[in-house]
Each structure stands twice: as structure tokens, then as C-alpha cells.
Structure 1
């Protein structure tokens, strides 16, 4: 089974069956939207799991290299949003696409 394709350059890639790809993409998007497990990520992106990352001792920045907020002040993603710089714009490569506006 093909797992990934790595492409370098500035040319385009021709999709063999674009209608099938769009149909699959729509179905995948709907399955993500219906999945309650991704609610936190859809609400605040990776900040939706800040408590879990703090608990295990590794956050999502710097490739998860054992970084944490100092002290035990982390209580929720709302705390992070209030006291730290935060963007309401989702990453261009994010497949969840936060609902944050």
C-alpha cells in the first residue's frame, strides 16, 4: 500500500481521477466533522489538547522536545489564550481546520 508521496519542485501533479478524489475528500471531511474526539482541536486547534500535553510534559512546539509551561498554572486552553499570544487563523496544512473565527 502506498503511504505517502514526496514531491519537490514547482510543477503541478495531475490527479488521475479528480471526481473520485473530491468524493473521498468530502466523505473524509464529513467524518472529521462528525467525530466528537476532534472537538477540542476543532475549537482551538492544537491548544485544544494543551492540558494533555502539559500532563505528559511535552507540548506541540519545538517538535515536542520536552517543553512545558512553567509552574502549575495551566488549567485549560482558555488560560493559554488569555495569557499568551494566540492566532485565530488555522495552519494552511491542517486537515481539521479549526472552527475558531
Structure 2
């Protein structure tokens, strides 16, 4: 009986290990196949929202407009802008020390 119990315990441990590996692989594949999955960008929702807003405004928007008119938090806007610029999807033009145009 103890031999069967030991074998069952080892089989369960192997199953848990393989299940954990599968979860990691699924997570990695999901990240790779997402639309505009950019390195270094933590919140995909804010990134997609910024892209949708910028598509509607061909002449670009200022950071102040995005913060006040579109209710962006400054830190989220900064992260999204860095991701866009890093991946050559947008450019920024400084207006003054605090504001810039995307």
C-alpha cells in the first residue's frame, strides 16, 4: 500500500508541475498574441484607449487635453506615451516644461 501511495504522491507532484508550466505557457502566448502588446507597458486598457483617441485626432493632442478632456491620470498618460514613442507609434513635441503634444 505504501508503494502505491508513494507513486500516487509522485504522480500528483508531476501533475502540479506540468499544470504550472502550462499556465505559464498560456500566459506567455496570450501576451504575445495580443494587439499592440508592447514591452514595458503595464496596462493594456489605457494603451488601447489612447490609441483610439489619437486615431480620431489627426493633428494630435496635448497632454493637458488628454488629462482634462479625456480624464487620463498623468502617470497613466506618461506610461502610455513612453510605450508609443519607444515602439515608434507616435512622437512627442514639448510645449513647455510640463506639457507636450502627441
Question: With structure 1 as the length reference, what TM-score do the two structures score?
Answer: 0.32
Q: Which has the higher relative contact order, 1 or 2, with Cα contacts under 8 A spaced 6 or more apart? A: 1
Task: Tell me which structure has the larger Cα radius of gyration.
Answer: 2
Question: With structure 2 as the length reference, what TM-score do the two structures score?
Answer: 0.31
